[in-house]
Structure 1
Amino acid sequence: MRLTDVPTAQQAALFPDASRPERPLLFRDLQEIQDRLLTWWGEPPAPREVWDPLTQLIYSLCSSRTKDAESQATILALRERFGGWPSGPNSWDEVRWERLRDASVAEIEDTLRLATFPDRKAVQLKRTLERITERVGSLSLAFLAKYRTDKVRAWIEELPGAGVKASAAVVNFSSLRRRAIAIDGHHQRIAIRLGIAPANATARQVEATLVPLTPVGWTAITMDEHHTLVKKLGQRVCSLREAHCTRCPLREVCLTGSAAATSRS
């Protein structure tokens, strides 16, 4: 497959300021990537603990550029200090976040101290929750279940600090469980190295090129699993500082990996 197979108008919309990759991809579709990653790791990722859309949005806003362990600790700290759980301490189904919305920025920042940029995120988080209340009349995103996926994502992306990754996470990871691929820094970097997107492609552009490569039968859960597998690869093998191509399960289908192998021979 070549990106040049995509209609010219669509290419221009995806990459208005980027050099388009002209080399053919070395794999058929994302199923081949998925199979290689599953074989490499030996087992699929553990099932995600699915939250309501609002809790997932809060987590996404707090977890940007923050390691998973610290992100998990942060959402638990927020819930302990500001959340409520009418269904019991082990359930996220009915968490209420009004106390978080009404807290001072200083209180929120103190609770976000394990996350990166807690001062910035505290302001964005409070503004986001206030904005949702203004638009909806209450602090809930349950109504999004009635919307088309594209409308849900557009609605989310109008909130302070919420971009394409956050909107994809809300529709894919939360109880909405819609088809989308959340593109974090690891996924973006690996897609570029694979040759799917040009070097200066944005997360939105990368997702737009990846989704057409997903098999028809892929569900929202499959896309979630794919995100987790690629993220794991980026954390452990294909890092920002160095691509360890010789021990990468994708080296045979990766333009960067194949180029590295050629240079060594």
Structure 2
Amino acid sequence: MDPTAPREGREPAGGGAVELIRAYFDDRTARRANDPPVDFVCCLSAFEHVPEPAALLRTVRDMSGDRGAGLYFEVFDARRALGRGEIWSVHYEQCNLFGAASLAALFRHAGLTVTDAGNCYAGDQYAFVDAAADPAAADPPDDLEPDGLPPELASFSAAHRAKRAEWSDRLAGWRSAGKTAAFWGAAGKGVTFLNSLPLAAPGDGVIGFVVDSNPDKHGRFLPGTGHPILPPAALAENPPDVVILSNALYEQEIRRQAAGLGFDGEFVIA
């Protein structure tokens, strides 16, 4: 179920099929998805974008009835990101910022039984919760309960000012040296980064365009700044001196792709 699904209908998947429903998840679509009754609910990298997350969990709990359906939810771990000074991770597309503790607490608040919680993917990139609608399911110790304002959040303001000052100085230095740059990644981090720094604006700034691998974004423009969004081939057609990457996790993959295009410029992590 996804309002951005390219189409509705059944698609082959392995030895079976998956039905795509192009809609938001709510009480109405939950009834549609629950016929026949579901035994498992999975949500990946979407829950942090839901305006009323507790209401969604209660809908999932109610649709599970007395069957004790299992749940697995996985979200971007904002506490980890803030602790590492990734200030560009706070952006308009994510109206909720969770860590493993707050995510597990919300599930309990919604009347679900948390059976496991923690971090996953590349060590700790994401927070996850395994849960059940069955109140008799084993509940782990409450060692993941939130314990007040996280220090990562308390220090965010100072970290934000420092990172903006660092990047403002870096862009000014590139401008003085006559260097040009491109930004790789037209998602939330890119939107926040480019809208936060005056010298990143197109035309008057250092960064002329944004590169993204998603063909649906090519020929469009970044929200706020209006940077053109181009395919990776733009690095060969109009090579900048520097490519700024939005996520260090994909650095090696992007380097290989850029090298295949003949680009041999500098790479920097935002």
Same fold by TM-score greater than 0.5: no
Question: TM-score scaled by structure 1?
Answer: 0.21
Structure with higher Rg: it is: 2
The structure, 1 or 2, with the larger RCO (C-alpha pairs under 8 Å, 6+ apart) is: 1
